[in-house]
Structure 1
Amino acid sequence: MNLRSAARGFLAFLLSVPALQGNGDWRVTYSSSNVCALRGATVDISCTYEYPDNGPYRPNTVKPLWFTKASNYQPIVLEHDTEYTGHVESSCGEVNCTGARCHGTCTLRIKDLRQSDSDVYKFRLTTNQPGGEYTGDPGVTLSVTDLQVKVSFPDPTDPTWTKLECHSMCGLAGDPRYIWFKNGKKGRQGVNYKGHIQSGENYSCAVEGYERLRSPLVYAPKTPSVTVSPSGEIKEGSSVTLSCSGDANPAANYTWFKVIKGPFSTNLNQGPKLVFKQILRSDSGQYYCLVQTELRQASNWITIHMKYGPKHTSVCSDPSGEIEEGSSVTLSCSSDANPAAEYTWFKINQPLLWEPSQRHTFPSVRPEDRGTYGCHAENKYGQLSSNSIFLNVTCELTI
C-alpha cells in the first residue's frame, strides 16, 4: 500500500501477511493484515492475486468479490448488500500474465467509516472451472476508532499543570500531524498539549486535513448548581434531598461535605444526591458539593436552615440563692428554637402579665415577689415549658 492510500484512511499496523488458499498455486495477498482508521474517514483495503497461466486452458475469471459478516454460513457480498449501497466500491486492475503466472490487483474502498464497519474483510476470486472459488484467508481486520484525549499531570508540585495527549485505540500510520482546538478555535499543533486549564475551557484534537473528525470535548467542570428539595421552610423530621449537578467531561465524581467549624468539614456522601430521610435539628448547617474530574474540581455551597419547635427550655435567676429584699434580681428563660420562641412567664403556675420577653428584672425585689417561677417557650412549630425555680426573698431586719 502506498503512502497516499495510507494517509487517506490513516492506516496502522501495515503488516504484509500472505493470505492464500484455494488449490495449487492460487494465492491472495493483502497489503496489510490490520487496518486502523478514523470514524468518518475513507479507507482503502488492497490485495494482489495470482494463479497459474495454463495457456489455452487459462480460466476465464469472473469479477472478483469482497465479502464479510458470514450469515448462516453464507458470506455477505458487500456490493450486493443494501446496507453498503453507496458506502463501498471496488476496483480492479487488468490481469497480466507473464511467464507461467497471471497477476491482478483489487481495492475495496469504504467511505464515511462507521463503527459498525469494524470487521474482517476477505477477497474471493471465482472462475468458471469446477470448484474454482478461491478465498484469501485470514483476511484484513479493520478497526474504526475515534480520537480520544488522554489526561495526565506531569508536575506533582503543581496539580493545575495539565498534559493532554491526542491518541486512538490503535496507532495511526504515517506519523499524522495533530491539531488542537481550544473553545472551538484552532490552536497548537502536536500530539501533546500542555498548560493550565481553567474552568469553562474545552479542548479537542483532530488530524490535520480532517479537522471535522475531532475527538470528544474534554473540559473542566463548571461551578455546579446545588438545590434543596423541598424548597422553603424545612421542618424537623421531614425528608430532604440536596442535589448537585455539574457539566464535565471526563465524567465527574460528586462528593458532599458538611462544614463543621471554620475551615474544617466532614465527608458525608459520594454521589450527586445527599438524602436525609428524617432530617434532625443537628443537620442544620452549611454544606458544599465537590465536583471532581481528571482535569480539576469545582464546588458550590448551600445552607440548611432547620425549622423546629422549642427544645431544652429552662429558667434561672441572677443572682441565685437567697436574695435580700430591695436588691435587683433577673429571671432568664432560654430555649433552642428556630424561629426564635416567644416567652410567657408563670408564678405558681399562674400566668403573669409581664411583657413576653426572655428576661424579667426586679429592680427592687419585695417579699411578695417570693415564690416559684417558670416560663413557657412557643413558636409556630411547637411549645415547651421550663423547669421551675424558687425565688427566695429574705426580709431586711429592723432593730
Structure 2
Amino acid sequence: MKTLQLSALTLLTLTGVFSASSEWGVIYSEPICAVRGSSVSISCTYFYPGSVREVQRVLWCSNNTNTDSHCADRPYVYDSNSSTASGGFEFVGNKPSNCTLLIRNVQFSHSGGYKFRFLTDDTTGKWTGLPGVTLEVGALELWMSSSSGNRTLKEGDSVNLTCAVNCTPSSPQFIWFKNRERLPESGSILHLLTLTVGDSGNYSCALKTDESVRSEPVQLNIRGVFSDSSEWRVNYSEPICAVRGSSVSISSLELWMSSSSGDRTLKEGDSVNLTCAVNCTPSSPQFVWFKNGVRLSESDPLRKTGSEKLVVTGCLSGHREEYLSSCIIKHTYKASVLHLRNLTVGDSGKYSCALKTDESVRSEPVQLNIGGGSNSSE
C-alpha cells in the first residue's frame, strides 16, 4: 500500500499536459522564505525533448490569481508574448533552459504557489511544471532579552538583541545599526555587555545582502544607577583650569622674560622681569619661585591692594633667610612677577616657577647670563 501511495505522489509531481515523461520537466528551487521589501529570485530550470526546435513562449502564474491548475489561461504574472509588465515581476531566465523569476520589493501578498509553463514550436508541445514552488514572505523581527529579565535597563546590565525572519526555511545573514549608523558586529544576535548610559539608542538589524531592508527599531534606554532619584545628585565645580603634570592635565605653566634693555642680552645694572602664568582661564593659581633649583622664600607682604589681588613681597635668598633688596615678587590673580633690579653677575642662573600647591609642577627654566658692566675690548 505504501508503494502505491508513493507512485501516485510521483505521478502527481510530474503531471503536465503530457503524461509523465523524463524528456519533459521543470526543476524548481526549494520552498523559499523571503523578507518583505527585499528582492527574491525563484530559481528554475526546464528541459524538453531534442526534437523541439524552439521554445516560443514562457509563462509564470500565481495560485493567488490563477485558479487553473495547469496555468493554461490568463492571468499570468509574466508572459513573454505580452508587452505589459506585471508589477514587480521580471523574467531573468532564457528560452532555452533557464526559467528564473525575479520579484522586486516582495510583499506579504506575494506569498503562495507559483508555476512555470512553456510552449514550443510543436503544437502539442506544452508543459507546466507541477506542483510548482511555494514562496513565503516574512518580516524581519527584532526582540530583546536582558540579564535583569525585564525591559528596564540600568548601567551594568547586559542585553541580547536577536534578529530573525518569521518564516522557514531561512538562513539569511544580518548586520546591525545604532541610530541608523552601521555597527561592526554581524550575525543574528547582538551581545551588549556591561551597559552604560552611552549605549542608549535605537537599534535595528538588516539583511547583509540588502541594507535597505531593515527591522523596526528597538529603543534601549539605559539609566544611571541613581538617575531617577531626587535624593541623589552630583554637583560640579565651575570650569577648571589645571596645570600640566598635576592631577588634571589640560594646561601648562608659562614663564617669560622682559628686560630694561629691551633684549635678552643682560649686563650688570639692568633690570629684568620674569613672569609666570597659566595659559587658560578661569585661573587663580599661586606660584613660588626657584633659582638653580632652590626655592626663593618670600618676606611678609610689603603692601596689598585691590582686596589682595595685588600682593608685593620681598625675596629671601634660599635657606639663609637673607633679604634681597634687589628682588621683589608681585602676585596678581592671574600671574606672578619676579622683578630683579640692578643685576649683578651673581644673579646669573636658571630661574623657574612652580605651583604653590604642588612644587613638582614647574615651568621650563629661563637662563639668565649677566655680563660685566664694561664692554671694552682693550
TM-score, normalised by the number of residues in structure 1: 0.42
Q: Which has the larger radius of gyration?
A: 2
Richer in strand (by share): 1
TM-score, normalised by the number of residues in structure 2: 0.44
